[in-house]
Amino acid sequence: QVQFVESGGGLVQPGGSLRLSCAASGSAFRVLSMAWYRQAPGKQRDLVGDITVLGSTNYDDSVKGRFTISRDNIENTMWLQMNSLKPEDTAVYYCNTIHGNLPWGQGTQVTVSS
């Protein structure tokens, strides 16, 4: 079964950038449409954006133009490049399939604060 490990989070000032990574175990990654999600304290987990097997992407309006999702199907890795970060981007970020139907990893904490 595919397992996900997220990394790359941290504390960043508003306007800063971070690049998150999602490492997936197993060869199934290359046939899965994937997504990034985030969960702020006291809120539900929300979809940030998704990427198909061939690399087509969609983004939530709140991050469009600031975040970019990419993937490498050979390395079984997906990334989330986050630019122009805002305090409201503070959350734990997770990766999973576009359906969110596989076991969730521990996520990586992103805190945007001055």
3-state per-residue secondary structure call for the chain: CCCEEEECCEEECCCCCEEEEEEECCHHHHHCCEEEEEECCCCCEEEEEEECCCCCEEECCCCCCCEEEEEECCCCEEEEEECCCCHHHCEEEEEEECCCCCCCCCCEEEEECC
Percent of the chain with pLDDT over 70: 100
What was the pLDDT predicted at 1?
A: 82
pLDDT digit string, tens, across residues 79-89 = 999 999 999 99
Mean pLDDT computed over 88-96: 98
Q: Is the pLDDT of residue 70 over 90?
A: yes
pLDDT digit string, tens, across residues 4-32 = 999 999 999 999 999 999 999 988 899 99
